Structure 1
């Protein structure tokens, strides 16, 4: 598949330089590293997230006032080293401590927790929240995969607003765990993605197939079947997400409809309208919604749907709080 790149081995570094150039009012890159720092500083708890590149605008798109203090970016779909995460902690810590927001993949967790340990040994206050919103199943053992996927962006937004309002490190850790427990995501792919420098897609689908339960690192799902319409796809995802909740009439939900990198906004908004109608038929209250490309998988075509049950009215306030970032528009 044709790509607008130069040498594949230079793609990540050139990507980060391009982001730093285009958004120089908001962030800066530490030269020769995968660390991007926001320029806005305040004496509050600093939030740091990251992982492999290939998920743009995650995570750099959420650097700025009201969200992340730093993102740490590894090779494509490969987490950064503990040493680079430690560097981000040292550069971001303004005194009240640092909270790491980690997506639930074994290699990501290992790298971030090692960095946390190193930072604590150097005298920093550091805690973490592990996001595991993916509720798809493993096709081999039929267990929930519980990877960290698009719902991670809701965690960035809610905790970022809370940190800006002065929540302590311990309060942010508790809030983060509460949000994660209230959230589920399920994604589908219409076309697989590919990695710069590699001609073959990460898995195969015929033109009429979709894959349910795909991952953000280009992983295939647990089931393939024909795509009939946006409405039927929305019905499948909404019904699978509903089973994770007690659907009392007074419950409120935030939803995130996330494109995976190769899906036109037209299709995302058609899908959003179908989700809206289905939830209205079920008397489910959508108190907040967001539609766009927030956690992608290079050029994979597809969509994910996230449900977040609003357990506290403050969560809605945090979601609606204005921010200054390049990827989250209020």
Structure 2
């Protein structure tokens, strides 16, 4: 499989350099690390917000979400690999302005282990006060190859947005943690794969799937879904994904929601809008009011063809924070 890379071993390093060279007014890189930091961090009087994880989920590897109104730092690992604990510690210490640091961790065993170790290192070395939120929005499975409990997938981006807005609005550490946890608890996601992804080092698909098949309920590392079935029209796929998410969230009629129709890296935007069109119809049929709709690539799986659908049920506080101004390499409002 052809890719626009140099050496497969340099993909993450060179990609991070590219983010910084293109957006140096917003972010900087800690030398010798895969840590990307808000250019003006630490911010006096503000809680720091840190996240990250394995690369390959861009911009949801989190480097694309570092900036004003969102993350103060992101820690990247190699492709589909958790970042090392010492670099998590570096990120936490770098953004601490004395108000504490919230760390948002996707629910994968490697991420949990390395982030928690890094947090302990930062607390011991620099006396940083921290809090954590573990995202687990994937409604497809309760256990997986990579996680104990539900996986953290694209809904994590809503948590980044809400936590970053809260910190930027002057919430203290506990209140920032509280509202980030509320966002996570109110969010569900389910995805589908039409093809496998291809990792740079392997150079071939990570799993086999026939041309007439799709995988329902996938993870973002090539983990199996809950069902493999024949390919179906977009509306039927949207019905299944959105229906499972709404069954899990169980919002009352009249509730307000925000949605993400997320591409997995290899799906044209035109196809994502076809899905979003159907999502809108489903919400109308269920008497749910869509307050905001995001369509695009927010949490990919390299070059996989496929999509995920995320729904977050809103209240007045979450709506206000969702609307809060943000400026990062991949998001501005």
- Fold-level match, TM-score > 0.5? yes
Q: Does structure 2 retain, via aligned residues, the 8 Å contact 1:139–1:223?
A: no
Q: Does structure 1 retain, via aligned residues, the 8 Å contact 2:58–2:64?
A: yes
Give the aligned partner of residue 67 of structure 1: 70
Give the aligned partner of residue 290 of structure 1: 294
Give the aligned partner of residue 243 of structure 1: 247
The reply on whether 1:314 has 2:322 as its aligned counterpart is no
Q: Does structure 2 retain, via aligned residues, the 8 Å contact 1:138–1:222?
A: no
Shift in Å, 1:31: 2.2
User: Size of the alignment, in residue pairs?
Assistant: 328
Shift in Å, 1:228: 2.0
Give the aligned partner of residue 57 of structure 2: 55
CA–CA distance in 2 between the matches of 1:280 and 1:260? 26
Query: Which of 191, 194, 197 is the aligned partner of 2:195?
Result: 191
Q: Does structure 2 retain, via aligned residues, the 8 Å contact 1:211–1:224?
A: yes
CA–CA distance in 2 between the matches of 1:238 and 1:320? 23
Structure 1 residue runs of 5 or longer lacking an equivalent are none
Q: Does structure 2 retain, via aligned residues, the 8 Å contact 1:40–1:65?
A: no
Provide the aligned C-alpha RMSD in A. 1.7
CA–CA distance in 2 between the matches of 1:103 and 1:228? 30
Give the aligned partner of residue 254 of structure 1: 258
Query: Which of 316, 327, 330 is the aligned partner of 1:327?
Result: 330
Structure-to-structure mapping, 1:75-94, within 5 angstroms? 75-94=78-97
Structure-to-structure mapping, 1:1-330, within 5 angstroms? 1-41=1-41, 42-43=43-44, 44-58=46-60, 59-122=62-125, 123-137=127-141, 145-310=149-314, 312-330=315-333
1:146-185 CA-to-partner distances (Å, cap 9, x unmatched) read 1000000000001111100100111111112222111111
Structure 2 residue runs of 5 or longer lacking an equivalent are none
TM-score (norm 1): 0.95
1:275-310 CA-to-partner distances (Å, cap 9, x unmatched) read 111211121211221111011111111100111111
Moved over 3 A (4+): 138-141
Shift in Å, 1:197: 2.3
Change (3 A) 1:270 1:66: same
Which secondary structure does the structure 1 equivalent of 2:89 belong to? helix
1:82-139 CA-to-partner distances (Å, cap 9, x unmatched) read 1001011111111101110000001100111111111122311111100000111269
